[in-house]
Amino acid sequence: DKGIKTSIQGIEMARKMGLNSKLPILYDALAQNYKAKGDYKKYAQTLKQLIAINDSVYKLNSVDVVAEMQIRYELQRNENTIIRQKLSLVEKNYWLNAYILFLITAVLITIFLFREYRKKNKARMQVLVENEKQMAFKAVLEAEENQRKRISSDLHDSLGAQANAILYGTELLQHDLGARQSLVNDLHDTAKDMLVTLRETLWAMKVKEATAAEVWLRVINFSKQLGRYYPSVNISTLGAVPAGVHISAAMSLNTVLILQEALNNSVRHSGATNINLTSKDQEGAWTITLEDDGRGFDPEAAGEKRESYGLVNMKSRAESSGIQLSILAAYNQGVKVTLRIDHAG
C-alpha cells in the first residue's frame, strides 16, 4: 500500500509540475505495485492509463521533435542566408577591391605615361628650340653676310661710277682746255663724293647697327662740311632723334647717303640759299625732312634725263632698306625730301 500511495503522490506532483515525461515511469511503478498486491483490476486499468500516457508523451515528443527540427531548419536556413550574404559581401568587396586596384593601376600607368610624354615632349621642344636658335643664328650670319655684300656692291658701284667720271673728266681736260675750270670743279666734287662715300661705307661695315643719334650726327657733320665749301648757302639742322632706336648698318648707310645726295643736289644744282634739315620722332617712326628754296624741278622730267641728280639712286637705296621716301618738287617752288624710318628698322 505504501508503494501505491507513493506512486499516486508522485503522479500528482508530476502533473502539478508539468513533468509529463516522468508520468510513464510513475504509472509503470503504480501498475507493478497493483500487480504485487494482486489487484489485477487496477493493474489493468493502470496499464491502460500507462499506454494512453505513453501515446500522449509520444505525440508530445513527436511535436517537440518536429518543432525542434523546424527550429533547427529555420536556424540552418538563416545561417545559410547569413553565409550567402557574407559570401555575397565578400564577393562584392573582392570586386570592389579589384576595381579600386584597377583604378589605382590605371591612374599610375596614366601618370607614368603622361610623365614620359612630358619628358619626351620637353626633349623634343628643347631640340626644336636649339634648332630654332641655330637657324636664327645662321639667318643672322647670312643676313650680315648679305648686308656686307650689298654694302660692298654699293661701294663698288658708287666708287666705280665716280672713278669713271674722274677718268672721263681728265680725258676732256687733255682735249678741251676751254672747259678746264668747269671740269676741274666737277673732278673736285666727284673726288670729294668718293671720299665721303668711302668713309660712310667703311663706317657702316664696321658696325652691325647704329643708333638714330649716330646716323643723325653723321648727317649734321656732312651738312657742316658742305656748308664750309658753299658759304653762300645757309644749311640748318633742327629737331631731336628718337632715343634708344637702333637701325641696321645697311639702313643707316642708305639713310646717310640718301640725305647726302639730297644735300648735294640742293647745294650744287638748285640754286637754293636756304636748306633746312628737320628730325622728328612721331607715330612710331623717325621722320627726316629736307627742304630748300631753290628753283625746283619736274620729278617726272628729271627721271628721264641722265642729269637726274641721283633721284633713281636715292629711290633704289630707300627701297632696298625699307625706307619710305617722298620727293615733292615743282619749278620755282623748291624741293621737299622726306624719309620715314620705322622704329623697328
- State the CATH number of the domain containing residue 233: 3.30.565.10
Closest alpha carbon to 286 in 222, 211, 203, 205: 211
Q: Which of 72-86, 171-185, 299-313 is least confident?
A: 171-185
Confirm if 260 and 317 have CB atoms less than 8 A apart.
no
Question: pLDDT, tens digit, for every residue of 36-64?
Answer: 888 888 888 888 888 887 777 666 666 55
What is the per-residue DSSP string for 162-230?
Answer: HHHHHHHHHHHHHH-GGGHHHHHHHHHHHHHHHHHHHHHHHHHHH-SEEEHHHHHHHHHHHHHHHHHH-
Q: How far is CA 182 from CA 87, 177, 187, in A?
A: 123, 10, 9
Angle between helices 249-269 and 180-206 (to 10 degrees): 160
Spatial distance between the Cα atoms of 338 and 48, rounded to a whole number of angstroms: 151
Those residues with Cβ within 8 angstroms of residue 233's Cβ, 6 or more apart along the chain or in another chain:
227, 266, 267, 272, 273, 274, 275
Which has more confidence, 214 or 81? 214
* Residue 183 belongs to a domain: no
* Residue 168 belongs to a domain: no
Question: pLDDT, tens digit, for every residue of 124-134?
Answer: 888 887 888 77
Spatial distance between the Cα atoms of 297 and 295, rounded to a whole number of angstroms: 7
Confirm if 264 and 196 have CB atoms less than 8 A apart.
no
* Residue 337 belongs to a domain: yes
Can you tell me the mean pLDDT for 250-260? 92
* Residue 54 belongs to a domain: no
Residue 122: other Cβ atoms inside 10 A: 10
Can you tell me the mean pLDDT for 66-90? 74
| pLDDT for the residue 14 | 82
| pLDDT for the residue 48 | 86
Residue 310 pLDDT class (50, 70, 90 cuts): confident
Residue 226 pLDDT class (50, 70, 90 cuts): confident
The phi and psi torsions of 292 (rounded to 5 degrees) equal: -130, 165
Q: Which of 4-13, 138-147, 216-225 is least confident?
A: 138-147
Can you tell me the mean pLDDT for 154-173? 59
Taking only Cα atoms into account, the Rg of the chain, rounded to an integer number of angstroms, comes to 64
Q: How many domains does the chain have?
A: 1
* Residue 328 belongs to a domain: yes
Residue 326 pLDDT class (50, 70, 90 cuts): very high
Spatial distance between the Cα atoms of 225 and 163, rounded to a whole number of angstroms: 22
Residue 296 pLDDT class (50, 70, 90 cuts): confident
Confirm if 189 and 229 have CB atoms less than 8 A apart.
no
Can you tell me the mean pLDDT for 93-99? 78
Closest alpha carbon to 147 in 245, 75, 253, 55: 253
DSSP 302: H
* Residue 325 belongs to a domain: yes
Which has more confidence, 144 or 266? 266
| pLDDT for the residue 272 | 93
| pLDDT for the residue 219 | 93
| pLDDT for the residue 135 | 79
Helices and strands of the chain, counted as H and E runs: 8, 7
Spatial distance between the Cα atoms of 106 and 309, rounded to a whole number of angstroms: 81
| 285-292/335-342 β-pairing | antiparallel
Q: Which of 147-161, 204-218, 234-248, 256-270 is least confident?
A: 147-161
- Domain span holding position 212: 207-345
* Residue 16 belongs to a domain: no
Residue 342 pLDDT class (50, 70, 90 cuts): very high
Average pLDDT value for the chain: 79
Residue 305 pLDDT class (50, 70, 90 cuts): low
Question: pLDDT, tens digit, for every residue of 169-209?
Answer: 665 665 665 556 665 666 666 666 666 666 666 666 666 78
* Residue 279 belongs to a domain: yes
- 260: burial class by Cβ within 10 Å (0-12, 13-18, 19+)? buried
- 215: burial class by Cβ within 10 Å (0-12, 13-18, 19+)? buried
Confirm if 273 and 233 have CB atoms less than 8 A apart.
yes
Which has more confidence, 52 or 147? 52
Residue 122 pLDDT class (50, 70, 90 cuts): confident
